[in-house]
Amino acid sequence: MGKNILVVEDEANTRFSLNVLLKRAGYNVSTAPDGTSAFELLDKSEEKNELYDLLLTDLQMPEMTGVELIRKMKSKNITMPVIAFTGFGDKATIIELLREGCEEYLDKPFSEEDLLVKIKQVFTKTNARKEEEKNAEKRFFDIERKLESYRKNFTSLCNSVDSAISAYKEILGTPLKSNRINLASASVTKDKLGGDFAAVHDTKSGCDILVADVAGHDMGASYHTIMLKTFFDENTRLENSGENFFQILNKQLLNNGMNERLVTALFIRINLDELWVESVSASHPRLLRFKSKNPNSILRPFSPCSGNVLGIMDNPSFEVRKFNIGPGDRLIMYTDGICSCVSIDGVSGKRVKLEEAGLREFIRKHYWNSIQNMVSNVWQDIKLFCKSKYVDDMLLIGIEIPE
């Protein structure tokens, strides 16, 4: 029997298209033109005990917005997975959604494939979460035990504001380098206290790399950046998996205060002995992979911004992928400030975002250079695109598997 989906969209043509698409995919679909009508359907379904399995909702709607609908559902204890349609790079709205318990979203415009993949992921996560709850108590005590080891160095480092500022500046001033892989990077901070962070640690079999984006540009963001660094150092020493590392990190963020600081992150472990990469995503811009000497062979291990944000849920799920690599393959890691950077036409005033597609074109343009020159030239193109006017911190890392 097909899953029951409620679609809430005020634009009639879009609502019709979604209805046709989802029915063709085998789902049972109901539609509503606004939040008020949607809540009436949800309320009736609760009374009849004929619950929907998923809610798809736009955010900007008359009478009742998508966020208001989610908030009202929460107040009435109507629970189900929700996918919200957001504007690309709208961090403030995304954070508001997460605080209301909506953990999944798609940036407009999205393709039919992106939507169907996201829906499948949500249903898979829902089923997996039910299984995980059976082992939640054991996992809680295991993470709590490991957390003490991670906390030790962090507590001693951040025993004062002055030491935190000093440590943060030291982190920013440390160039990324590795003796195991070919690596190049470029970055810029919008303010003195930024939230983007990256670190690399060589290991016996290859290296671990972490890229993260801490919400905010204040002392709190700097404090949490230091925490990421010390926890990442300890994780490399203990050789824990990326998924386990994110669970421990999430626990510490929650201990610091629910919704106090949200973090998106991407962790990759490169094994050069066996030639594989394991990637773990916590709602971070996806890893881009290019096959050796073929800039048109981009492979995407993830759907956009997959996995849950760190620092808001007790039992988050992360997107874990493992794939083979070969000599000369290139991997690109970055933060969302790059895709969100804007070019403004001087005559019409039209604003155009770079987005992932624009970044990919810059990479293809300079792909035949060395990894160092490729990253440098792509970075220059990004700066020219936005005329060096940054809307957020930006970070770009290029990785090449050695021959």
pLDDT the model gives residue 387: 86
pLDDT the model gives residue 85: 87
Start-end of H helices in 205-241: 219-238
pLDDT the model gives residue 126: 78
Q: Which range is most confident: 21-25, 142-146, 257-261, 349-353?
A: 21-25
What are the tens digits of pLDDT across the range 151-193?
Answer: 665 555 455 445 555 555 555 556 788 999 999 999 887 665 5
pTM as predicted: 0.66
| pLDDT level of residue 16 (50, 70, 90 thresholds) | very high
Cα 80 to Cα 55, 242, 263, 328, 398: the distances in Å are 7, 28, 24, 45, 39
pLDDT the model gives residue 340: 87
- Rounded Cα distance between 276 and 171, Å, is 28
pLDDT the model gives residue 132: 63
In the predicted model, is pLDDT for residue 368 greater than 90?
A: yes
Q: Which range is most confident: 83-97, 283-297, 321-335?
A: 321-335
Query: For the chain, which domains are there?
Result: 4-134 (3.40.50.2300), 136-400 (3.60.40.10)
Decide: helix, strand or coil at residue 233. Answer: helix
User: CA quadruple 256, 253, 72, 35: dihedral positive or negative?
Assistant: positive
- The conformation of residue 110, written as its DSSP 8-state character, comes to -
Decide: helix, strand or coil at residue 243. Answer: helix
What are the tens digits of pLDDT across the range 222-252?
Answer: 677 778 888 898 898 888 999 999 999 898 8
pLDDT the model gives residue 258: 46
Give per-residue burial for 250-263: e unless 16+ CB within 10 Å, then b.
bbbbbeeeeeebbb
Task: Please spell the DSSP secondary structure of 344-379, one letter per residue.
Answer: E-TTT--EEE-HHHHHHHHHHHTTTS-HHHHHHHHH
* Mean pLDDT of the 197-216 span: 91
* Mean pLDDT of the 140-144 span: 60
* Mean pLDDT of the 38-60 span: 88
- Rounded Cα distance between 134 and 142, Å, is 15
Cα within 13 Å of Cα(145), Cβ side: 6
| pLDDT level of residue 27 (50, 70, 90 thresholds) | very high
